[in-house]
């Protein structure tokens, strides 16, 4: 009995540990990469290059380029929220938090 209890305690500890200690940022990034795959890849391609047929047709810029990376987080979130040119607005579809995490995700693209 005591052994079962201590195993349970150990299991509970590890579950709690992995959800608490895994940085919130890592989870948000995982989330952002899913959102990116669902909503953005069509035009921006999985790596952000814009090298997809739709991206080329609309001349979406390479999100990894210095030109895009030099924009502020506020610029990136504003473009995603309100859209720009042929880029659709996502302000109605995605929450501000998710849009912020997408901007952070775009910052990670050149490092991949
Ligand atoms: C229907 C195609 C399409 C989809 C879907 C799309 N984009 Fe875009 N995106 C574009 C185009 C085209 C541009 C260039 C807009 C311009 O400046 O004319 C752009 C520009 C951008 C920019 C600004 C980069 C720059 O040119 O400075 C960001 C950031 C961006 N998109 C992020 C996203 C994110 C994040 C998503 C998914 C939530 C997304 N886009 C979905 C087509 C798309």
Domains of the chain: 23-111 (1.10.760.10)
CA-CA-CA-CA torsion sign (71, 76, 82, 84)? positive
Beta-ladder partners of 84: 87
Residues 6+ apart with CB under 8 A from 111: none
CA of 27 to the centre of ligand 1 (A): 23
| Torsion angle defined by CA atoms of residues 40, 43, 44 and 46, in that order, rounded to the nearest 10 degrees | 70
CA of 97 to the centre of ligand 1 (A): 18
pLDDT tens across the length of the chain (112 residues): 677 777 777 777 766 666 655 666 566 667 899 999 999 999 999 999 999 999 999 999 999 999 999 999 999 999 999 999 999 999 999 999 999 999 999 999 998 7
Q: Residues with Cβ within 6 A of ligand 1?
A: 39-40, 42-44, 54, 58, 60-61, 68, 71, 76, 79-80, 84-88, 90, 102, 106
100 and 77 in contact (C-beta within 8 Å)?
A: yes
pTM, whole model, 2 decimals?
Answer: 0.82
């Amino acid at each position: 009995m005591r052994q079962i209890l201590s195993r349970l305690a150990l299991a509970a500890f590890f579950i709690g540990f992995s959800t608490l200690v895994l940085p919130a940022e890592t989870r948000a990034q995982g989330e952002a990469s899913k959102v990116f795959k669902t909503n953005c890849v069509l035009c921006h391609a999985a790596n952000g290059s814009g090298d997809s047929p739709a991206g080329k047709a609309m001349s979406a810029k390479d999100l990894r380029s210095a030109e895009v990376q030099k924009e502020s987080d506020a610029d990136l979130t504003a473009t995603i929220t309100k859209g720009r040119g042929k880029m659709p607005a996502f302000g109605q579809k995605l929450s501000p938090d998710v849009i912020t995490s997408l901007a952070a995700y775009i910052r990670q693209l050149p490092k991949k």
